[in-house]
Amino acid sequence: MASMNEEDLPTILPTLLPRLWRFALRLTQNQHDAEDLVQRACVRALERRRQLQNGTAALSWLFAIVHTTWINELRARTIRTRGSINWRDDEIESLADPSGHTPEIDLMHRQVIDAVEALPDAQRAVMVLVAIEGLSYREAAEVLDVPIGTIMSRLSRARLTIGQRFGAQPSAAARKGGSI
């Protein structure tokens, strides 16, 4: 992962936007909210780039800003929308490469995305950072400001939940203790 200093930020930021947007999309589960979140996080990063320490991993630092900005937005929404109805886009655009897909592959991608999106927020954030974005447990812990053990626990529960969703059901003989 690239490290940087405050002078590098304006140059490196555009190259990291696709990954920041994917992370924001998985957090928000809404394309417009993700775009707004990335924009707010980028502005915050540029405004506060003097706080960036030399040698800091750029992507981890930016993921942390996106996550913190999202948490702050959730808190603000809770206050603003007490008693109102929450809405959600019916369709979330898939980030998978559309070239060469068959309907079966598209369905499988949609099922995996749906499984990740169905996870609780904390587990979904860890799954996206570690399994999709490739951050180490330590980097994910820094981004989310939690202990590494919490990252491991949330990831384990997320993987178990997704595995159960896609796992084959035991046969009737296996449930009864018989053999085939």
The per-residue pLDDT for 3 is 54
Concatenating the DSSP letter of every residue in 84-153 gives SPP---S-----S--TT--HHHHHHHHHHHHHHHTS-HHHHHHHIIIIIS---HHHHHHHHTS-HHHHHH
Residues 120-176: tens digit of each pLDDT? 989 999 988 888 888 899 999 998 999 999 999 999 999 888 888 887 454 454 445
Q: Which residue has the higher pLDDT, 93 or 38?
A: 38
Residues 23-82: tens digit of each pLDDT? 999 989 889 999 999 999 999 988 888 887 777 788 888 999 999 899 888 877 766 655
The per-residue pLDDT for 7 is 67
Chain centre distance of CA 150: 16
Q: Catalogue all structural domains in the chain, each as residue range(s) with its CATH number.
A: 1-80 (1.10.1740.10), 101-167 (1.10.10.10)
φ, ψ dihedrals at 83, nearest 5° = 90, -5
The per-residue pLDDT for 17 is 93
The per-residue pLDDT for 101 is 60
Report yes or no: 124 and 140 within 8 Å, Cβ to Cβ.
no
pTM above 0.85, yes or no: no
The per-residue pLDDT for 31 is 92
The per-residue pLDDT for 153 is 94
